């Protein structure tokens, strides 16, 4: 791809994941306007160091080497200069050379990464899909809907990614799981994390 506009965040976006943002900085308002006008995505990259917003005392920004495309699916503007947007995670990418434009917007050369192969969870991990479905139903009963539809419980990658979004884990662990090429391996790690958290309760 050509240079991709980047949105550094202290979060990790997974393919098919839901990202909700409040936009108020001019550089990002301009970015979202351009994405809507041209129907193009932007890139979400997790921050190793530094802040999401520009401040008077700026810690140097360091980005992780991989991120995810974000497609804007919904926009609300409650007042001038403020946007609330909802995005869907798309393809993952490896991040190459980066630079900052004059307005502070990050740009980077990216190489798209192959999607997870379509395969159901392995038999030993089939219970993770069932438990995820029960978790989604329980959250919906409380009025929370953290996942975009369609729900794909027959996809090892989709199930693993949704668990990675809601499990408590450090940012660097979440980042490594996002970049893990094998969805079954990702699901194995999720299983280990779930068992560890249940044992500590």
**End-to-end C-alpha distance for the chain, whole angstroms:** 46
The answer to the question of residue 134 being in a domain is: yes
Across the range 64-81, mean pLDDT stands at 94
Q: Under DSSP, is residue 160 helix (H, G, I), strand (E, B) or coil?
A: helix
Residue where a domain stops, chosen among 112, 145, 172: 112
Please give the tally of structural domains in the chain.
2
Range of the domain at 140: 123-199
Average pLDDT over the chain reads 93
pTM metric for this prediction: 0.92
Across the range 190-201, mean pLDDT stands at 86
Q: What was the pLDDT predicted at 2? A: 75
Q: What was the pLDDT predicted at 60? A: 85
Across the range 41-59, mean pLDDT stands at 78
**What residues form DSSP beta bridges with 102?**
none
Per-residue pLDDT tens digits for 150-182: 999 999 999 999 999 999 999 999 999 999 999
The answer to the question of residue 118 being in a domain is: no
Alpha helices (H) in the chain, listed in sequence order = 26-38, 126-141, 156-166, 171-179, 183-199
What CATH number does residue 148 fall under?
1.10.4060.10
Across the range 110-123, mean pLDDT stands at 95
- 55 pLDDT band, cuts 50/70/90, is low
């Amino acid at each position: 791809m050509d240079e991709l506009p980047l949105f550094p965040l202290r979060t990790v976006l997974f393919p098919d994941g839901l990202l909700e943002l409040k936009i108020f900085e001019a550089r990002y308002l301009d970015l979202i306007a351009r994405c809507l006008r041209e129907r193009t995505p932007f890139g979400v990259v997790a921050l190793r160091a530094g802040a999401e917003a520009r401040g008077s005392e700026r810690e140097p920004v360091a980005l992780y080497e991989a991120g995810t495309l974000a497609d804007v699916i919904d926009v609300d503007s409650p007042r001038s200069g403020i946007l609330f947007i909802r995005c869907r995670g798309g393809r993952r990418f490896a991040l190459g050379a980066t630079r900052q434009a004059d307005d502070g917007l990050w740009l980077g050369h990216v190489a798209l990464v192959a999607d997870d192969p379509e395969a159901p969870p392995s038999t030993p991990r089939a219970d993770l899909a069932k438990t995820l479905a029960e978790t989604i139903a329980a959250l919906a009963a409380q009025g929370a809907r953290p996942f975009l539809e369609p729900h794909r419980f027959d996809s090892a990658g989709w199930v693993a990614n949704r668990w990675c979004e809601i499990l408590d884990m450090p940012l660097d662990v979440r980042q490594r799981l996002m970049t893990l090429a094998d969805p079954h391996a990702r699901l194995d790690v999720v299983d280990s994390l779930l068992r560890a958290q249940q044992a500590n309760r």
